[in-house]
Amino acid sequence: MAPAASVVVISKKCMGTVSRPTTVATKVCGRFVVVVHNALPPLSAEWNHVIEVYRSYPGADTLNVLVFTDGGSPTAAQRADLTSSMAHRKMQVSVVTQSVLARAAGTAIAWLVPGLRIFSPADMEKALDHISASGVDRRILKDAVDQLRRDLATNAATASPNG
């Protein structure tokens, strides 16, 4: 079981977690939440942390989320938990992926989260437009995605018995 995560300030604009996630990681950057999945389905403890970040986000009425995935996506049970947890919250979500499976999962979620749109990595600028990111926030969000992808790769490699 993964250790409980506590929040730490990464920069003046972003906050992340101290835990060492291996499948999905989150970072809060101002009025945005960044979620990065590697190619594996989220571990239960890590997915529960994502849901907790969404639930506890103190921002405005709309939760703006940038999701980048290398193919990993929530299971059917995790998707159900997400939609029931966020039923009271308006969400604008951009999912960026090349994965057909992750696109299918995103499409399933989009039935219940009408503000969700799916983009290819080549359309990152359109994904940022969809969540109303402008100015310096665009660079901060891209940097957060890059950092979380590196962190997941490092954590997964060190957690693997073959890594």
Does residue 109 lie in a domain region? Answer: yes
pLDDT, one tens digit per residue, over 102-161 is 888 888 877 777 899 999 999 999 999 999 999 999 999 999 999 999 999 998 888 766
Does residue 162 lie in a domain region? Answer: no
Pull the structure tokens for residue 85.
């947890």
| Domain CATH for 95 | 3.30.750.24
Per the structure, how many domains does the chain have? 1
Does residue 123 lie in a domain region? Answer: yes
Say yes or no to pLDDT of 16 above 90: no
Does residue 143 lie in a domain region? Answer: yes
| Domain region containing 86 | 7-157
Q: Are strands 90-96 and 24-29 parallel, antiparallel or unpaired?
A: unpaired
Measure the CA–CA gap between 163 and 157, rounded to whole angstroms. 5
Say yes or no to pLDDT of 163 above 80: no
Does residue 51 lie in a domain region? Answer: yes
Measure the CA–CA gap between 155 and 16, rounded to whole angstroms. 15
Measure the CA–CA gap between 119 and 157, rounded to whole angstroms. 28
The predicted model gives 85-93 an average pLDDT of: 83
Does residue 1 lie in a domain region? Answer: no
Does residue 2 lie in a domain region? Answer: no
Q: Where are the alpha helices (DSSP H) in the chain?
A: 44-56, 76-85, 100-110, 124-130, 136-159
